[in-house]
Amino acid sequence: MKHRGILNSQLLQLLSSAGHGDLIAITDRGFPLPHVSHTQVIDLGIAEGLPAFNEIAALITAEVVVEKIYVTSETRQANPAMLEFVRALMPSDLPYHEIPHARLKQAVLTGGDQELGRIIGFVRTGEFTGYTNILLQCGVAF
């Protein structure tokens, strides 16, 4: 029996299947669910604020190699605390890129886009703070 880190079997399956360049979205409660066959949807929200985005993002980034992170350009103004959290969570040399919220939403709902790549996973938290959405691009451990 696993006793540390992520215990949710669906989330563990998603993370262990991620390959180089695959994208995983972690979102707030308000984000609509995608309906594409190659994107695994994991809705973790159980109540307002549970689980919090920060808790889930910290657990996921401890399990996978992240080579790039995408945040929305609106986040800097609308939710600077989330942006600070993400910057503190990741190594200082990790590139993060801002994209418009509408583009991130469209990419997630359609399973990706040509420039960003394929979104294999969608993890919705119980977070009730707007613009608390990121895309993690998976890297390699070697």
Q: Which helix (H) or strand (E) holds 97?
A: strand 96-99
20 an active-site residue? yes
20, 35, 38, 97: the catalytic one is: 20
Cα 80 to Cα 14, 51, 53, 77, distances in angstroms: 29, 20, 14, 6
Residues 98, 36: Cα–Cα separation, whole Å: 24
For the chain, counts of helices (H) and of strands (E) = 5, 7
Quote the CA–CA distance of 94 and 48 in Å, as a whole number: 31
Q: Which residues are catalytic?
A: 20
